[in-house]
Amino acid sequence: MKKFLALALVVPLLISCSSKKDDSYNEAFVKDTNGFDILMGQFAHNIENIWGMKEVLIAGPKDYVKYTDQYLTRSHINFDDGTITIETIAGTDPAAHLRQAIITTLLMGDDPGSIDLYSDANDVLISKQPFLYGQVVDNTGQAIRWEGRAAKFADYLLQTRLKSRSTGLKIVYSVTINLVPNHLDKRAHKYIGMVRKASKKYGVDESLILAIMQTESSFNPYAVSHADALGLMQVVQHSAGVDVFKSQGKWGKPSRSYLFDPESNIDTGTAYLAILQNSYLSGIDNPTSRRYAMITAYNGGAGSVLRVFNSDKTRAFNIINSMEPGDVYQTLTTRHPSAESRNYLYKVNTAQKSYRRR
């Protein structure tokens, strides 16, 4: 199912336990978030003007969406559903627009920092090592690495799978391609080495890192969100990013390009998990109970986790330590004020079980 965003965008923020920020930090924070809000509003407005209000489709954590051709053509990879949909509303030779977009999407590289998902710039470059290599095969069952094979497959798709629909104002021409059944595992495999390195460096379980990556982005390195969370582990520059840099003796926050680099993103996300584990939530004695709290805090902040049990931090720790891990899990999945955080713990915990069996 397509995910649509309204023009009135609200920017929720991950909340860390460190509540005392100086005035200059707060001023910069507001400036950054307001600037992102304006950017997103303008981008969505451009799409609405050309495609129509009900056709505003924007990239998300598990959806790569790239516009080209002055917003007339777009490529959408849905990493949850395992589909690639190429669409165009070009009035002249729509097949040619689709053909080029199909080839470019199939052969794009894996450098998220090189692509601006919030513009119609034709900045997607064909790579000798395509990001989607092995995640999609052509009509003969072959993986697609070279432009010749991609072009032949594009021609086949246009001959056999071209569809059209009317939006009332525009005719949308499209082609849909299915990713291979185990596409999630193939993406995960790309990052195993980086995960192991970060796990060893920070003392965080590999299976937890992988489970969070799956839940946050479905291993989509291009992942973005309306909260401006970035990359595989959906790190927010202004909160988790600042906390990590501070813990490492660095000033400021990680840049967008830094967080779009997969290894840097995994390192930063894992470092934040370590902060939750060894600092913010270190008062929880039982490692399983602490893990449940860490998972929930990664989504909604450590402060909100502790307040579920008591508004006083020390009392909250004492209450948690008096409970069985199963009761802590039950409490966080039923009493946390955020439905997203309640569901998040369930999703990550379920995913982690599958990675532990490997």
Say how far apart CA 300 and CA 297 lie, in whole Å. Answer: 5
Give the separation between CA 68 and CA 99, rounded to whole angstroms.
13
pLDDT value of position 14? 35
Q: Which amino acid is residue 94, in one-letter code?
A: P
Main-chain phi, psi angles of 143, to 5 degrees: -65, 155
Active site residues: 216
Quote the Cα angle for 93-175-146, to 5°. Answer: 90
Per-position pLDDT tens, the chain of length 358: 333 333 333 333 333 333 333 444 445 545 556 777 788 889 999 999 999 989 999 999 999 999 999 999 999 999 999 999 999 999 999 999 999 999 999 999 988 988 999 999 999 989 989 999 999 999 999 999 999 999 999 999 999 999 999 998 899 999 999 999 999 999 999 999 999 999 999 999 999 999 999 999 999 999 999 888 999 999 999 999 999 999 999 999 999 999 999 999 999 999 999 999 999 999 999 999 999 999 999 999 999 999 999 999 999 999 999 999 999 999 999 999 999 999 999 999 999 999 987 6
Alpha carbon distance 351, 178 (integer Å): 23
Going by C-alpha positions, the residue among 251, 227, 198, 196 that lies closest to residue 300 is 227
Instruction: List the domains of the chain with CATH numbers.
Output: 38-180 (no CATH), 184-356 (1.10.530.10)
Q: How far apart are CA 269 and CA 20, in angstroms?
A: 22
Number of CB atoms found within 10 A of residue 145's CB: 17
Q: Alpha-carbon distance 282 to 294, whole Å? A: 10
CA distance 294 to 269: 12
User: Phi-psi bin for 65: left (phi > 0), alpha (psi -120 to 50), beta?
Assistant: beta
Residue 118: how many other CB atoms lie within 10 Å: 19
